[in-house]
Amino acid sequence: MDKNRVFHEMIGGKWREYPASLDIHGIRTNPDYAADPRLVLREMMKREDWDRFVEYIYHKQPSDINRLSPYAELVFNYIPNITGKLRDAGIEWMRKEKDHD
């Protein structure tokens, strides 16, 4: 299943199916959480426990002597990444938190 769809449904969104021709012409209204990690951040910040999510992604990084703070880690290592790193971390964390099946 499309990871953007998985994340969207886990946060309570409704994923819409569109004909393939609409994607070809760039008319698509489903969010692309990989291309814009700020969308993931906005959704996660709506949660009361979002600070636990930040701690979770902080501890996913290998520790070294120059380790950043949890929020700096988010800003420097996740927000600029457009491969879905933050979206995937959100999915993994929500599953571990037993928010969803």
The pLDDT of residue 51: 92
pLDDT-based confidence at residue 58 (cuts at 50, 70, 90)? confident
Given its phi and psi angles, is residue 84 left (phi above 0), alpha (psi -120 to 50 degrees) or beta?
Answer: left
Residue position matching structure tokens 């979770």: 56
pLDDT-based confidence at residue 24 (cuts at 50, 70, 90)? low
The yes-or-no verdict on residue 28 having pLDDT over 90 is: no
The yes-or-no verdict on residue 44 having pLDDT over 80 is: yes
Measured on CA atoms in the order 4, 10, 36, 93, is the torsion positive or negative? negative
Q: CA-to-CA distance for 36 and 59, rounded, in angstroms?
A: 23
pLDDT-based confidence at residue 1 (cuts at 50, 70, 90)? confident
